[in-house]
Each structure stands twice: as structure tokens, then as C-alpha cells.
Amino acid sequence: MVDSGRDANEDEALKARLARLKGALEEKRAQEPARNPLDEVSAGATGRAFSLGVRVLSEFVAGLIVGVAIGLALDGWLSTKPLFLIVFLALGTAAGFWNVYRIAAGPTGPRRGGS
């Protein structure tokens, strides 16, 4: 029964240590002002990210719209109702994805006139 006495002492020591750590943590939290993670993001970075998102969306949607417009025009002119719409919808989608890929990949070569 010696082990139960030792376990009780260890439990008490751990509880005391936990209480000290909890007090130290609360003291540290009281010293530091509350932080908002969004405050660390600058307005310029947010604006650039929003601008890039709008550009990516507009490039993709423009590819789709142009593909559908060409498909509908050719179908009306040649009386082949869904054929060219389907073909140019697929081509417009591919063009939209290609434009998004080009934006995401960014420039890869050296800049002219710069350092």
C-alpha cells in the first residue's frame, strides 16, 4: 500500500504545479493586450489579393462568355443548333483555365529594362 501514498503525493505535486502554471499563464495573458490576427494583414496586401481574385474570375468568365457567344453565332448562322455551342463552350472553358494558369504561373523570364 506504499504505492497509493506515493501516487497521492505525486498527484498533489502535479496539481500544485498545474495551479502555478495556470496562474502564470493568466498573468501573462493579462499583461499582453488582446490581438486580432486580422490586424497583422496590411490593407495593401488585402487589396492586392482581392484585385488578383477579381482578375482571375473575370478572365475565366470572359473565356466562357466569348466561347458561348461564338458558338451561338455559328449555330444560328449555320443552323446546327447545339454543335458549335458545345464545341466553343469547351474551347472557352479551356481558354479560361489557360488564362488563370498564366496569371497563377506569373512571369518566368528576366525582365527587360530592369535589374
Q: What is the pLDDT of residue 4?
A: 67
Backbone angles phi and psi of 87, in degrees to 5? -65, -50
Q: What is the pLDDT of residue 6?
A: 77
Query: In this predicted model, what pLDDT tens digit does every residue of 31-59 receive, in sequence order?
Result: 887 777 666 677 788 888 899 999 999 99
Each domain of the chain, given as residue ranges in start order, spans 46-105
7: buried, middle or exposed (CB in 10 Å: 19+, 13-18, 0-12)? exposed
Residue-wise pLDDT tens digits, 53-107: 999 999 999 999 999 999 999 999 999 989 999 999 999 999 999 999 999 998 8
